[in-house]
């Protein structure tokens, strides 16, 4: 299962180039633990118990998967708004002849075509389904993992803390997406 998570991390890392998307897999151990510590009351309990590389790696993977899930939800909302606006306003990208585009130093199309928007929505839905499946697998595995480590970590508390950390970490990203959605309208 960890190998599958590593593969997902490799695939998703290049697409998260935005400065607003938290990078839970690459921050230092101390910074990661500090983020967890500061986001929930009793965060010190988690801080003290994440005392091995394996515990940190599994917790980082969980944070990364939560992060991706929320990121895809934001993308889905933005593209849905774009699609809805384009349908109601009828502003799909017009096609221009290549010769005219070259003559006027423009692209072959302006804006986004209906087909492109639909493809993007399907891609995001596929990514959400895959990420949701991975998240469910991690949440199933989490109680087993936390019960077998010493010192014991409460799996519900850990998953709640990680989710809260991710939501807190995506505040600026959320604001960026809200701004983009407002610009569409």
Per-residue pLDDT, 88: 82
Whether 75 shows a pLDDT value over 80: the answer reads yes
- pLDDT tens for each residue of 120-141: 999 999 999 999 999 999 999 9
Give the pLDDT band of residue 109 (cuts 50, 70, 90).
Answer: very low
Instruction: Please report whether residue 100 resides in a domain.
Output: yes
Instruction: Please report whether residue 19 resides in a domain.
Output: no
Instruction: Give the predicted TM-score (pTM) of the model.
Output: 0.79
Residues near 182 by beta carbon (within 8 Å), at least 6 away in sequence: none
Say how many CA atoms lie within 13 Å of 81 toward its Cβ.
15
Q: 116-149: buried (b, 16+ CB within 10 Å) or exposed (e) per residue? A: ebeebbeebeebbeebeebbeebeebbeebbeee
Mean pLDDT of 39-63: 90
Give the pLDDT band of residue 184 (cuts 50, 70, 90).
Answer: confident
Instruction: Please report whether residue 17 resides in a domain.
Output: no
Closest CA to 12 of 123, 97, 106, 111: 123
Split into its structural domains, the chain has a count of: 1
The residue count for the chain: 185
Instruction: Please report whether residue 84 resides in a domain.
Output: yes
Mean pLDDT of 103-109: 53
The lowest-confidence range among 36-45, 69-78, 82-91 is 82-91
Instruction: Please report whether residue 98 resides in a domain.
Output: yes
Asked if 170 contacts 70 with a C-beta cutoff of 8 angstroms, the reply is: yes
Instruction: Please report whether residue 130 resides in a domain.
Output: yes
Range of the domain at 66: 2-12+24-184
């Amino acid at each position: 299962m960890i190998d599958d998570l590593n593969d997902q991390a490799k695939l998703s890392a290049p697409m998260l180039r935005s400065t607003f998307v938290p990078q839970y897999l690459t921050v230092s151990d101390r910074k990661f633990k500090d983020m967890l510590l500061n986001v929930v009351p009793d965060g010190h309990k988690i801080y003290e118990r994440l005392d091995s590389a394996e515990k940190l790696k599994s917790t980082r993977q969980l944070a990364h998967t939560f992060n991706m899930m929320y990121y895809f939800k934001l993308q889905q909302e933005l593209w849905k708004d774009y699609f809805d606006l384009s349908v109601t306003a009828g502003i799909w990208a017009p096609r221009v002849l290549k010769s005219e585009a070259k003559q006027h130093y423009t692209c072959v199309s302006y804006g986004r075509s209906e087909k492109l928007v639909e493809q993007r929505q399907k891609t995001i839905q596929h990514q959400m389904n895959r990420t949701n499946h991975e998240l469910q697998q991690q949440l199933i595995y989490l109680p087993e993992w936390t019960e077998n480590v010493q010192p014991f970590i409460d799996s519900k508390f850990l998953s709640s803390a990680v989710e809260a950390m991710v939501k807190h970490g995506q505040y600026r990203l959320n604001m960026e997406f809200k701004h983009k959605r407002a610009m569409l309208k």
